[in-house]
């Protein structure tokens, strides 16, 4: 009996030990498997990369990106006795008024966003402040009643997005274009909508965000050692333009003044290096503030220099004449009947502003005779005329650097076999072009018969300041060198003796051609006009092709009174800025230069 009781006690003891051991194993298993709320020994930090900048040729940032940060604090963790200290320090570091902060903290308990738009430089200061506030125990630990865990939350400075900044206001708009904002996972990104911002969206966009991960210290800051990992920021490419800001500002101010003087709807100008195709200025009197676009700005959002397609008028006479001369169909000294200012082709009556009896073929250009060029153009076949206009770049986009270009139109070869269409197209009616197409075409006369492609982008710059140059496009030979040389002389004569006389500048080689055309509205010509002047301005070293369009001037319908003065003022600015250097008479005699304007 005694042995039996003893056995039962041993069995019971053994069972308790076994059970205790099983409970111990289960506890260990649960502890091992169950997620524990232990603080991580590692910390991770992310930083967004930013959109690239648009930089002028002389190194000024015209469009740039500013990072924005938000400051967040949990009021439950602020030591009540150090609340005033927190407010005062935050105000000093953030630049925000203390009353504003006090109001935000009092209005809501718990998580409070103190600011959404903290600039990057202030954000760096505030991050340092956050560290010091923890060190001086401005924030206290709190125990969660539900979980029983103790936590500490301080001041958090978090990237909230990016803002596109335009330090020079409406400068170079709408060529630069404008962006819009996109929200993605609580972060505000910028995307291009028009102009260069849209055309080079892929190049400007940020490439890789910064990531740092490694062991943390007691304040959760990353300790950089061999166990840490980092991935650098790769920002979007910067775009450097061919356009210097100093010249652009003066040209735009001049256009603003001339728009008011001429009572015009818009004035546009393009200045391009005739040899390289680099654009020095592309300006419009109609601009906008990219960050404050109003309804009244909507017409100005388009890049008029490539998106405004118009009938170019008499500036096309030069192209028609060059095609005839290049094929040997005319001689500059051939005589042409002016029919005393009125001539009928088929059912259409063509008129001239001035009455001519007989004039030389080249004087058809110098004095801008519609009747003269209409007769000469009949020597071209429809195929020759159509192919020639295409060769000069009409109906084809002018530059790869801009988006949404309207390429315009020219009559078909079949239509140009008709004598009336051939006549009207010879002086720029029945076809459409934009300003840059006209400037590109006129570069042929100033570049030995070769045509260059207008370029606005000089190069790209990456995060390591490495430059990627833009390769120049080929310059095809459009007309013979001898033909281009002759056309150049005719255009210089047009300025010295003809319709472009107000463009003369002493000591420079100035040539060009005027153009005036009715505006079409609802399929009919109305008594409103566009005027144009296209040509060149050269000194001993430099050659520039320049085009001007004045949209609906009310002061005068004649290009000689509207577009030509704008051209002249632009050339004067180029002289003052050092892009052109007039030669003195004694220097010209020594150099043997004979086709300069020296009046």
Burial of 307 (0-12, 13-18, 19+ CB in 10 A): middle
Q: Quickly state the pLDDT bin for 549 (edges 50, 70, 90).
A: very high
Query: For residue 410, is it within any domain?
Result: yes
Helical segments of 293-409, H only: 304-307, 315-326, 361-366, 370-377, 382-391
Q: Where are the beta strands (DSSP E) in 334-374?
A: 335-337, 342-345, 348-351, 358-360
Residue 254 shares a structural domain with residue 172? no
Is 589 buried (19+), middle (13-18) or exposed (0-12) by CB count in 10 A?
exposed
Question: Which residue's structure tokens are 């109906």?
Answer: 395
24 versus 49: the higher-pLDDT residue is: 49
Q: What is the mean pLDDT of residues 476-497?
A: 97
Q: What are phi and psi of 501, to 5 degrees?
A: -60, -25
Mean of per-residue pLDDT scores for the chain:
88
Query: Both 250 and 153 in a single domain?
Result: no
293 pLDDT tier (thresholds 50, 70, 90): very high
In a domain, 576, yes or no: yes
Q: What is the DSSP letter of 471?
A: P
Give the pLDDT of residue 414.
96
- Where is average pLDDT lowest: 25-29, 317-321, 496-500? 25-29
Question: Tell me, what's the pLDDT at 216?
Answer: 62
Q: Which residues partner with 512 through β-bridges?
A: 535
Domain finish residue from 200, 229, 262: 200
d(CA 20, CA 590): 115
| Residue 253 and residue 192 share a domain | no
Q: Express each pLDDT in 189-202 by its tens digit.
A: 899 999 999 999 99
Same domain, 195 and 259: no
State the pLDDT confidence band at 591, using cuts at 50, 70 and 90.
very low
Tracing tokens 């990106």 back to the chain, one arrives at 65
pLDDT higher for 78 or 18?
78
Shared-domain flag, residues 144 and 263: no
pLDDT at 447: 97
Q: How confident is the model at residue 590 (pLDDT cuts 50, 70, 90)?
A: very low
**In the prediction, which pLDDT does 119 show?**
86
Cβ contact 142:151 at 8 Å: yes
Residues 6+ apart with CB under 8 A from 177: 192, 193, 194, 195, 196, 197, 198, 199, 290, 303
Furthest-apart CA atoms within the chain: distance in Å? 154
Neighbours of 510 (CB within 10 A): 27
- Predicted confidence at residue 470, as pLDDT, reads 83
- The verdict on residue 98 lying in a domain is yes
Is there a domain that residue 132 lies in? Answer: yes
- How large is the average pLDDT for residues 19-47? 62
Residue 213 has pLDDT above 60, yes or no: yes
318 shares its domain with 194: no
Is the confidence at residue 257, as pLDDT, over 90? yes
Q: Please give the pLDDT value at position 38.
A: 44
At 484 the pLDDT is 97
Nearest Cα neighbor of 531 from 435, 423, 437 is: 435
Which stretch, 75-84, 120-129, 158-167, 412-421, has highest mean pLDDT?
A: 412-421
Percent pLDDT > 70 in the chain is 88
Residues 418 and 352 in one domain: yes
In a domain, 3, yes or no: no
The enclosing H or E element of 328 equals: none
pLDDT of res. 226: 67
Q: Are residues 423 and 490 in the same domain?
A: yes
Residue 152 belongs to what H/E stretch? none
- Show the 3-state SS of 369-402: CHHHHHHHHCCCCHHHHHHHHHHCCCCCCCCCCC
The more confident residue out of 77 and 385 is: 385
Residues 506 and 390 in one domain: yes
The per-residue pLDDT for range 222-231, each reduced to its tens digit, is 666 666 667 7
Q: What is the CATH number of the domain that holds 161?
A: 3.90.1310.10
Q: What is the distance between the alpha carbons of residues 123 and 380, in angstroms, rounded to a whole number? A: 70
356-395 exposure pattern, b = at least 16 Cβ within 10 A, e = fewer: beebbbbbbbbbbbbbbbbbbbeebebebbbebbebbbbb
Instruction: Tell me whether the omega of the peptide bond preceding residue 174 falls within 30 degrees of 0, making it cis.
Output: yes
**Residue 443 domain flag:** yes
Domain contains 297: no
Indicate the residue among 173, 200, 227 that finishes a domain: 200
Domain membership flag for residue 97: yes
pTM of the model: 0.84
Bigger pLDDT: 549 vs 181 = 549
User: Over 90: is that where the pLDDT of 177 sits?
Assistant: yes
Sign, CA torsion 126/128/131/133: negative
For residues 20-24, average pLDDT:
71
- Report the C-alpha gap between 489 and 497 in whole angstroms: 12
- At which of 200, 233, 258 does a domain end? 200
Does the pLDDT of residue 18 top 80, yes or no?
no
Report the CATH number that the domain containing residue 565 is assigned in CATH.
Answer: 3.40.710.10
Query: SS3 helix, strand, coil % of the chain, rounded to 5?
Result: 35, 25, 35
Predicted local confidence at residue 3, as pLDDT: 59
Q: From CA 231, how far away is CA 53, in angstroms rounded?
A: 22
Q: What pLDDT does 27 receive?
A: 65
Domain extent for 314:
245-286+307-591
pLDDT(350) > 60: yes
Tell me the pLDDT tens digit for each residue of 84-119: 999 999 999 988 998 999 898 888 888 888 888 888
Residues 282, 133, single domain; the answer is no
Residues 356 and 484 in one domain: yes
Distance, in Å, from the CA atom of 369 to the CA atom of 494, rounded to the nearest integer, reads: 12
Residues 142 and 262 in one domain: no
Please tell me the total count of domains within the chain: 2
Three-state secondary-structure class, residue 150: strand
């Amino acid at each position: 009996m005694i042995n039996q009781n003893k056995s039962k006690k041993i069995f019971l003891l053994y069972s308790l030990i076994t059970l205790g051991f099983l409970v111990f194993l289960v506890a260990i298993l649960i502890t091992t498997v169950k997620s524990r709320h232990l603080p991580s020994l590692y910390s991770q930090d992310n930083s967004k990369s930013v959109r690239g900048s648009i930089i002028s040729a002389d190194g000024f940032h015209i469009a740039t990106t500013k990072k924005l940060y938000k400051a967040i604090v949990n009021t439950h963790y602020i030591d009540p006795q150090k609340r005033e200290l927190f407010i005062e320090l935050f105000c000093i570091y953030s630049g925000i008024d203390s009353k504003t902060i006090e109001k935000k903290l009092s209005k809501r308990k718990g998580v409070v966003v103190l600011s959404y738009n903290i600039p990057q430089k202030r954000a760096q200061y505030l991050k340092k402040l956050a560290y010091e506030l923890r060190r001086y125990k401005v924030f206290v630990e709190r125990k969660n009643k539900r979980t029983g865990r103790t936590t500490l939350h301080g001041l958090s400075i978090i990237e909230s997005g990016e803002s596109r900044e335009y330090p020079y206001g409406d400068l170079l708009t709408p060529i630069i274009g404008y962006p819009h904002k996109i929200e993605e996972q609580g972060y505000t990104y910028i995307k291009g909508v028009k102009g260069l911002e849209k055309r080079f969206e892929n190049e400007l966009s940020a490439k890789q965000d910064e990531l740092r991960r490694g062991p943390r210290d007691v304040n959760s800051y990353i300790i950089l050692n061999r166990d840490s990992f980092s991935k650098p920021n790769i920002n979007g490419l910067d775009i450097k333009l061919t356009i210097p800001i100093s010249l652009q500002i003066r040209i735009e101010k001049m256009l603003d003044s001339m728009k008011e003087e001429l009572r015009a709807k818009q004035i546009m100008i393009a200045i391009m290096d005739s040899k390289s195709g680099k654009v020095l200025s592309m300006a419009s009197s109609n601009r906008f503030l990219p960050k404050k676009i109003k309804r009244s700005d909507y017409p100005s959002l388009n890049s008029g220099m490539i998106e405004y397609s118009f009938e170019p008028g008499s500036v096309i006479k030069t192209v028609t004449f060059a095609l005839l001369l290049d094929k040997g169909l005319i001689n500059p000294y051939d005589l042409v009947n002016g029919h005393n200012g009125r001539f009928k082709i088929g059912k259409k009556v063509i008129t001239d502003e001035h009455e001519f009896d007989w004039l030389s073929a080249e004087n058809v250009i110098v004095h801008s005779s519609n009747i003269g060029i209409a007769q000469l153009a009949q020597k071209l076949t429809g195929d020759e005329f159509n192919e020639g206009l295409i060769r000069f770049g009409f109906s084809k986009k002018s530059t790869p650097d801009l988006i949404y270009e309207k390429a315009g139109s020219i009559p078909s070869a079949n239509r140009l076999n008709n004598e009336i269409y051939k006549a009207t197209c010879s002086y720029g009616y029945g076809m459409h072009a934009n300003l840059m197409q006209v400037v590109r075409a006129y570069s042929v006369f100033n570049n030995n018969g070769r045509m260059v492609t207008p370029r606005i982008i000089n190069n790209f710059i990456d995060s390591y300041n490495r430059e990627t140059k833009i390769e120049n496009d080929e310059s095809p030979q459009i007309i013979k060198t001898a033909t281009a040389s002759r056309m150049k002389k005719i255009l210089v004569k047009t300025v010295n003796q003809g319709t472009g006389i107000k463009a003369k500048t002493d000591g420079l080689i100035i040539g060009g051609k005027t153009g005036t055309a009715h505006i079409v509205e609802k399929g009919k010509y109305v008594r409103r006009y566009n005027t144009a002047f296209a040509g060149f301005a050269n000194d001993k070293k430099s050659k520039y092709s320049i085009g001007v369009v004045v949209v609906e001037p009310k002061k005068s319908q004649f290009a000689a009174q509207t577009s030509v003065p704008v051209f002249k003022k632009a050339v004067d600015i180029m002289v003052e800025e050092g892009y052109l250097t007039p030669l003195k008479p004694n220097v010209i005699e020594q150099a043997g230069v004979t086709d300069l304007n020296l009046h």
